Structure formats: structure tokens, C-alpha cells
Amino acid sequence: MDVQERLDELAVLIEDAKAMPLSASCLVNRAQVLDLIDEIRQLLPESVARADELLADREAVVQDGRREADRLLERARSAADRMVTEHEVYLAAVGESEAMRSQAVEETARMRMETDDYIDAKLATFEIALNKTLQTVDRGRERLRAQVYEDLAPEPTPAALDEIYDNQR
């Protein structure tokens, strides 16, 4: 039994004791009360030792809790640092990708302008070649027409040639 049970027993013994008439005093069995007090005295050192053990355990538990809390805080700080680093890496990657995208857009625009200029120059050259070809075709057709008319026209007589010659003067 423990101290608390013995103290409860002592309280019951006193509560159940026969009361003295016209007094707050009561009659208790002296031997029984003294035995209970001796048992309580014997149990007290054990209880005090257990209380000391509990206090020591409490201190150990508190120390363990503090160590665990410190460990958790360190892990949380590490995780936070890692997350911040990862976020910084992400932000750097986003910035670099934006720069690369901007550079690609500029390069594409420049290449498109160069391509347009090249195509325009080639088309202009082709247009000139086509115009020369068209002029050559027109001259050739004109010659053919002139030759056909000459073949169809009668030979001018010397008198007609003199008249043409005189009109041109």
C-alpha cells in the first residue's frame, strides 16, 4: 500500500471513532492509530524516493523534449534554408529562361528581317530578268510581225521608193 491509502485509512478511523458527549473530541484506538502512523512513516521515505525518481525522470523527460525540440527546429531550419535555396534557384532559372526567350525572339525577328530582305532582293533580280526576257520576247515578236508584213507587202517599185525617200526629207 502507499502513503495515500494509509492516510485515507487514518481519516476513516478518526471519522468512525466514537464521539464524546458534549465535546468535539472522540475516542480512537491508540494502538491502531500509532500502527497506521508507523506504516506511513515507513512508506514516506519510499514515496519521497519515488518522488525524487519522478522528478529526476521529469528532468530527463524535459531534457529529452528539449533535445527533440532542438532537433526538430534544426530540421525545420534546414528545410526552410533548402526551400529558400530551391526558390532562389527557381527564380534564377525563371530569369535566365526569360532572358533566353527574349534573346530567341530578338534573334527570330532579326532572322525574319534578313530572310525577307534576301527574298525581296532575289525577287527583284528575278523581276529584272523577267522584264529583260519580256522585252526580248516583245522585240522578237515585233521582228516576226515586221517580217510577215514585209513578206505580204508587194515589192516597192523604184518610183515608189523615190517617193518614200522624198517624203522623208
> By the 8 A CB rule, do 6 and 51 touch?
no
> According to the model, what pLDDT value does residue 1 have?
60
**Residue 22: per-residue pLDDT:** 82
The 3-state DSSP class for residue 29 equals coil
Model pLDDT, residue 117: 95
Q: What is the structure's pLDDT at 114? A: 95
Measured CA angle at 13 (ends 8, 14), to 5 deg: 100
pLDDT class of 161 with cuts at 50, 70, 90: low
Query: How far apart (Å, rounded) are the C-alpha atoms in residues 27 and 13?
Result: 10
Percent of the chain with pLDDT strictly greater than 70: 92
Rounded Cα distance, 143 and 165, in Å: 23
Per-residue pLDDT at 169: 63
- Partner residues linked to 8 by β-bridges: none
Q: Are 43 and 1 in contact (CB under 8 A)?
A: yes
| pLDDT tens for each residue of 128-156 | 999 999 999 999 999 888 877 776 766 66
